Amino acid sequence: MDMKKYAAEAIGTFWLTFAGCGSAVIAAGFPQVGIGLVGVSLAFGLSVVTMAYAIGHISGCHLNPAVTVGLAAGGRFPAGQILPYIIAQVVGAIVAAAVLYAIASGAPGFDLAKGFASNGYDAHSPGQYSMVACFITEVVMTMMFLFIIMGATHGKAPAGFAPLAIGLTLVMIHLVSIPVTNTSVNPARSTGPALFVGGWALAQLWMFWVAPLIGGVLGGTVYRWLSDEPTGVVAGVKTA
């Protein structure tokens, strides 16, 4: 049933957003034992690995509008399913941000002005990177993410290892780009925290939809051109 696929996408995106952003908001800078940039990167990657094994056989485990659009561009996903998948993903991310807010706001000194794991550019980039630099980063990182997803889930790729390759790719992406944009490559993940921060986060949210979607289409299209077998699987599920 399609509703089960949508529910799986909502739950999976909830986990990615809650675990990834939660690691940044709650654990990254905790005194003396904070997990830091590497820990946050691992949290995002592990959230994808764990959910890929849990729901890959149900929905394909996209957890990301850019992945859904990119897979469609790559010939791996039906265009008619794009919108409901994206809606489910955004709902899951918003619920995750709400739960994270309920938990994080219970600590003394909690302040949404610190960013709440939102993505940003210029003054709101962790490293003060320019809008152009941030846009390029998000496009390139998402393009490579989709390229690797397409390859790892190709029918001729080693069976059973796609979740690990995809999760490790997300770790690598975060290791490079957290200082630039706080790493999006996922419009749903960006939307959840931005709704709670409001103001600048909402004003800059457009980039974290436009750039990842462009990157997703590029990655899917390039791999489709490169590959001699456009059909394949995502996390164990046939997608075309």
Q: pLDDT tens digits, residue range 158-211?
A: 878 999 999 999 999 999 999 999 999 999 999 999 999 999 999 999 999 999
Quote the percentage of the chain above a pLDDT of 70: 95
Question: Of residues 199 and 230, which shows the higher confidence score?
Answer: 199
Give 1's pLDDT tier (boundaries 50, 70, 90). Answer: low
Counted residue by residue, the chain has a size of 240
What residues make up the domain containing 169?
2-106+115-238
Q: Which of 50-64, 120-134, 172-186, 222-236 has the lowest mean pLDDT?
A: 222-236
Q: Contact 141/180 with Cβ under 8 angstroms?
A: no
Give 29's pLDDT tier (boundaries 50, 70, 90). Answer: confident
Report whether pLDDT(232) > 60.
no
Tokens encoding 195 = 């709704």
Distance of alpha carbon 169 from alpha carbon 226, whole angstroms: 20
Report whether pLDDT(239) > 70.
no
Mean pLDDT over 1-15 rounds to: 95
Domain count of the fold of the chain: 1
CATH code (residue 216)? 1.20.1080.10
pLDDT tens figures, 100-135: 999 999 999 899 988 899 999 999 999 999 999 999
Compute the mean pLDDT over every residue in the chain, rounded to the nearest whole number. 93
Quote the percentage of the chain above a pLDDT of 90: 86
In a 13 Å sphere around the CA of 230, the CA atoms on its Cβ side amount to 14
Report whether pLDDT(235) > 50.
no
Mean pLDDT over 20-32 rounds to: 92
